Amino acid sequence: MLNDQAHLNPKLFDDDIEQVPSRNGYGEGLVLAADANDQVVALCADLTESTRTEEFAKKYPNRFIEIGVAEQNLAAVASGMAAAGKVPFITSYAVFSPGRNWEQIRTTVCYNNQPVKIIGSHAGISVGPDGATHQALEDLAIMRALPNMVVVCPCDSIEAKKATVAIAKNSKPSYLRLSRSDVPVITTESTSFEIGKAEVFYEGKDVAIIACGQMVYRALLVAKELKEHGISIRVINNHTIKPLDQKTILKAAEETRAVVTVEEHQIHGGLGAAVAELISQNFPVPIKIIGIEDRFGESGEPEELLEKFGLTTENIKKAVLQVLRMKEK
């Protein structure tokens, strides 16, 4: 059953649930962060409107810098501003930042532990028709591997807003992964959010589904459907990939003894890999990882691509049944 303490959208399972790109929440959160702290600044690589940085630029023009199509400079300039006491947010498509400027993020930001906030928009295959060159499927992996980096993948626009405000305060290099396409709004302003703290959205004892981003919604649909068939699913919204909430994940592994992870990202190096690393060393249980299986994306409509790449409720159900059989052996 739904966790009443999670304070989720009462229209969660309705056909007309509101859908909003998570990048919209970033735009709102950036203005809120700037309202609260006059050291917050924003830099963009010629994608101000697409990344939803435009409202900040309108309200705080003296705190906004258009770098242009120069993502390496984007990271390096932001690192210098952070060293001078600013809280810089840098935005672009995720394939360009952190994709194109990973070395500058590594050396000028993380190595110096500067509190630059890297916002990777248009991530995942649900970018759609732009195709493989613009579909960042490896960004969680390359950012998770960096020392000092915080990595967050919010499940909807409201959580993205909260995450933006939170990383503005954490004094750490931080990466926020955002969607271009519409995502069901499953949380509310009352839903808890804390960096490094996963949230149990659906209670269950047979299998734990650990998800991030828009896959959390699909995991909830599966939990509701399988409940009618006598299978009890625990759904965990694991928005923070790093630092991982070890306590919540290990508790789920110990109590359910079967885990499925779901992400709109390569199966190598992302959420599933992080969870597998943790439970294999502490409380090994059967686990299935659902994500992009070692291939590039392609052009298509978001829902078509999610279907083709297996990021569906049907595939999640199959994985649930697989780990159930595995734990019974």
| DSSP annotation of 126 | G
Q: Give per-residue pLDDT as tens, 229-257.
A: 999 999 999 999 999 999 999 999 999 99
pLDDT at residue 11 above 90? yes
CATH 3.40.50.970 domain span(s) along the chain: 20-184
Stretch 6-11: mean pLDDT: 96
Task: Take residue 303 and report the two structure tokens written for it.
Answer: 């829902």
Catalytic residues: 71
Q: What count of Cα atoms within 13 Å lies in the side-chain half-sphere of residue 289?
A: 19
Question: Residue 265: what are its φ and ψ, rounded to 5°?
Answer: -165, 165
Q: Provide CB contacts within 8 A for 16, sequence distance 6+.
A: none
pLDDT at residue 329 above 80? no
The answer to whether 180 and 128 are in contact (CB under 8 A) is: yes
Cα–Cα distance for residue pair 19/21, rounded to 1 Å:
7
Stretch 39-55: mean pLDDT: 97
Q: Three-state DSSP class for 257?
A: coil
pLDDT of residue 98: 98
Residue 286: asked if its preceding bond is cis (omega within 30°), the reply is: no
Grade residue 193 by pLDDT with cuts at 50, 70 and 90: very high
Task: Take residue 225 and report the two structure tokens written for it.
Answer: 């459907």
Stretch 188-192: mean pLDDT: 98
pLDDT at residue 182 above 90? yes
pLDDT at residue 272 above 80? yes
Stretch 56-61: mean pLDDT: 98
Q: Provide CB contacts within 8 A for 204, sequence distance 6+.
A: 223, 227, 232, 233, 234, 235, 256
Stretch (H or E) spanning 103: helix 102-104
Which fold does the domain 4-16+190-328 belong to in CATH? Rossmann fold (3.40.50)
CATH 3.40.50.920 domain span(s) along the chain: 4-16+190-328
Residue 113 CB burial class (10 angstroms; 0-12, 13-18, ≥19): middle
Cα–Cα distance for residue pair 209/2, rounded to 1 Å:
14
pLDDT of residue 328: 85
pLDDT at residue 100 above 80? yes
Q: Give per-residue pLDDT as tens, 124-176.
A: 999 999 999 999 999 999 999 999 999 999 999 999 999 999 999 999 999 99
Q: What is the mean pLDDT of the chain?
A: 97
Stretch 79-102: mean pLDDT: 98
pLDDT at residue 305 above 80? yes
Q: Three-state DSSP class for 54?
A: helix
Cα–Cα distance for residue pair 206/295, rounded to 1 Å:
31
Cα–Cα distance for residue pair 73/183, rounded to 1 Å:
31
pLDDT at residue 299 above 80? yes
Q: Does domain 20-184 have CATH number 3.40.50.970?
A: yes
pTM here? 0.97
